Amino acid sequence: MSPTAAFDERSIGRLLRAASVVHWRNLPLMLLLLAGGFLMMLPFLWMLSASFRPIGEAYQLPPSLLPTSLDLTAYSEVFKTGVPFLQMYWNSFVVAATTTAGVLLTASMAGFAFARLRFPGKSVLFGAMLIGLMVPPALTLIPIYFGYAAVGLLDTRIGLALPAMASTFGIYMMRQFMLGQPRELEEAALIDGASYWTIFWRVSVPQLGPALATLGIITFIGSWNNFVSPFVLIRSFDAMTLPVGVVALQGVMGSARLSVIMAATTMAILPLIIIFLIAQRFIIESMTMSGLKG
């Protein structure tokens, strides 16, 4: 038997086994979920379609999902508008990467303290921290703005990252994961004379791979998509991030150039789609291993 024939037989066998799992009773639910998934994807499909349309075709009536021809003019126009789109890309990456690194460090350390250390007032402090989840982040922008104005951090990339480098949700998530970790390795290291700092770096952190990956993805996406803080704290193109930059581009181009705006939006969300498709297995794995599952 040739290798190609063997491969075809294995492929057919896997397909038949996968099909046997799908019971006919589940077919209506699967069709409903498929329809719901298509409806959720429809705005993204229209955005991608609009970015490839000729500039004069964006407002045609009746509207169509597919363009009559693929036109890349809108993508090239994004870089000819005078708005530094590549600089905004770099700003978004720097801010998101800095925020993610800060959240992973502070959340893992604070989560270890709440999960493993004993100190007076721990429960009260943890409860007060959870109450902070009820405070909308937008309410803190006014004091942050005046504080930044006093110390000269307005219109800076580090100014955008600093407020988000400590995450209450991240601390809670890390604490839940560490509470589910076996204590035997940590107790053995403590008996051998290891300090809590050594136990944290050598024992706890290596077990937090899926949790740290999930928190990092959530934080990076949230920082990349953040609009309110950059809109309030940033005014110059030198430190402007993509969400505010797309709005600025719309102001420059006007509503008549919808294809250009959709092309810029498509390029802005493309890194997030790639990151999520690559790392979605970490999110699923972390939810099945943590106390966050239902």
Bin 121: left if φ > 0, else alpha if -120 < ψ < 50, else beta. Answer: left
Q: Identify whether the C-beta of residue 261 lies closer than 8 Å to the C-beta of residue 59.
A: no
pLDDT, tens only, 86-113: 999 999 999 999 999 999 999 999 999 9
Structure tokens at 259: 């294809």
What is the dihedral angle through the alpha carbons of 228, 232, 236, 240, rounded to the nearest 10 degrees?
A: -20
Q: What residues contact 216, with CB distance under 8 A and at least 6 apart?
A: 100, 103, 104
Which range, of 19-23, 213-217, 228-232, 280-284, averages the lowest pLDDT?
A: 19-23
d(CA 76, CA 55): 12
Peptide bond into 62 cis (omega under 30): yes
Residue 232 has pLDDT above 70, yes or no: yes
Q: Which of 143, 129, 161 is nearest to 234 (CA)?
A: 161
Judge contact between 200 and 266, C-beta under 8 A. no
Q: What is the pLDDT of residue 294?
A: 40
pLDDT of the residue at 77: 87
Alpha-carbon distance 8 to 2, whole Å? Answer: 10
The pLDDT score that the predictor gives to residue 182 is 84
Indicate the pTM of the whole model. Answer: 0.81
Which of residues 135 and 120 earns the better pLDDT score? Answer: 120
Q: Are 239 and 156 in contact (CB under 8 A)?
A: yes
The answer to whether residue 146 scores a pLDDT higher than 90 is yes
- Token representation of residue 218: 């959530």
Six token digits for residue 243: 């969400």
Q: Given this model, what pLDDT does residue 81 score? A: 83
Structure tokens at 227: 């609009």
What is the average pLDDT across 128-139?
A: 86
| Model confidence band, residue 55 (pLDDT cutoffs 50, 70, 90) | low
pLDDT at 149: 92
**Cα–Cα nearest to 116, from 191, 197, 206, 209:** 197
In order of their start, the domains of the chain are 3-51 (no CATH), 85-289 (1.10.3720.10)
What mean pLDDT do residues 270-286 have? 77
Interval 19-44 mean pLDDT: 79
Per-residue pLDDT tens for 152-194? 999 999 999 999 998 999 999 999 889 888 888 888 888 888 8
The pLDDT of 203-211, averaged and rounded, is 87
How many CA atoms does the CB half-sphere of 37 hold within 13 Å?
Answer: 6
Mean pLDDT value across the chain: 84
Confidence band of 29 (pLDDT split at 50, 70, 90): confident
Does residue 17 have a pLDDT over 80? no
Are the beta carbons of 95 and 157 closer than 8 angstroms? yes
Query: Which two three-digit tokens encode residue 61?
Result: 């009536």
Q: Which residue type sits at 180?
A: G
Percent of the chain with pLDDT over 90: 35
Residue 125 has pLDDT above 90, yes or no: yes
Least confident of 63-67, 121-125, 275-279: 63-67
Residue pair 228/145 in contact by the 8 Å Cβ criterion: no
